[in-house]
């Protein structure tokens, strides 16, 4: 009888935890088939940041974890001399909602979090120790690109990504890791935002209606 009571209590605890933790915009690596961050040949990198919008049922939740899907670049035979080609470093931002524009507003972090990743297609970022509280029902998770040599890659005229400029192609576009995925959800509007070089936020609708969301998920508690 005591054993059954213990099992019942344990199950109740697990059920409570499951109810309190909610995954928003859940992603799977097999669902990520398109990536943003690529521009036309001879153009500069288009955006400073890319943000995904999230909505919860209740205000005051706490952000526990963020996951993002990114492109892993295969190494060609001639590029094998380059070690760790998928290494990337980026900045993670969490924003409140700007009620006037609907865009990302004030930062909910004291400073952006620097994230380093080697070769994970799905990057998991544990945020529990930062105790990031969402004051309202809407918030944004944003990735800021660091445009340095560590992250720099090249795209040739054929659309192929190279670790170093191709010798056969005079024209290449500068692109930077991480290459964030996009997914299609059953929505008619986009919840993806991008920051322009002028530091202005705009809704990212370039891939509508085929892609509506960035491949970024968020786990919150307190729901």
Q: What pLDDT was estimated at residue 158?
A: 67
- Digit-coded pLDDT (tens) for 187-211: 888 999 999 889 999 998 877 788 8
Stretches where the chain sits below pLDDT 70 are 1-20, 37-45, 74-84, 156-159, 164-172
Whole-number pLDDT of residue 122: 92
| Residue 219 DSSP code | E
Q: Which two tokens stand for residue 12?
A: 């109740």
Closest CA to 218 of 109, 96, 62: 62
Strand pairing class (49-55; 34-35) = unpaired
Where along the chain do its domains lie? 22-221
- Tokens 């056969």 belong to 168
Residue 199 Cα distances to 45, 72, 89, 195, 196, angstroms: 13, 28, 21, 6, 5
């Amino acid at each position: 009888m005591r054993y059954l009571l213990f099992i019942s209590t344990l199950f109740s605890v697990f059920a409570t935890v499951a109810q309190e933790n909610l995954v928003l915009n859940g992603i799977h690596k097999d669902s990520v088939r398109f990536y943003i961050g690529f521009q036309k040949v001879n153009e500069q990198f288009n955006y400073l940041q890319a943000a995904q919008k999230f909505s919860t049922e209740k205000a005051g939740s706490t952000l526990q974890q963020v996951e993002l899907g990114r492109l892993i670049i295969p190494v060609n035979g001639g590029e094998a001399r380059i070690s760790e080609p998928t290494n990337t470093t980026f900045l993670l931002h969490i924003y409140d909602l700007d009620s006037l524009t609907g865009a990302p507003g004030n930062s909910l972090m004291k400073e952006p979090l620097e994230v380093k990743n080697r070769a994970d297609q799905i990057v998991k970022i544990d945020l529990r120790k930062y105790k990031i509280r969402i004051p309202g029902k809407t918030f944004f998770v944003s990735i800021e690109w660091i445009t340095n040599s560590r992250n720099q890659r090249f795209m040739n005229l054929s659309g192929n990504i190279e670790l170093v400029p191709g010798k056969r192609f005079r024209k290449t576009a500068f692109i930077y890791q991480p290459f964030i995925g996009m997914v299609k959800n059953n929505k008619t509007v986009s919840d993806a935002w991008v920051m322009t070089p002028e530091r202005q936020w705009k809704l990212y609708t370039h891939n509508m209606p085929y892609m509506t969301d960035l491949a970024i998920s968020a786990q919150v508690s307190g729901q």
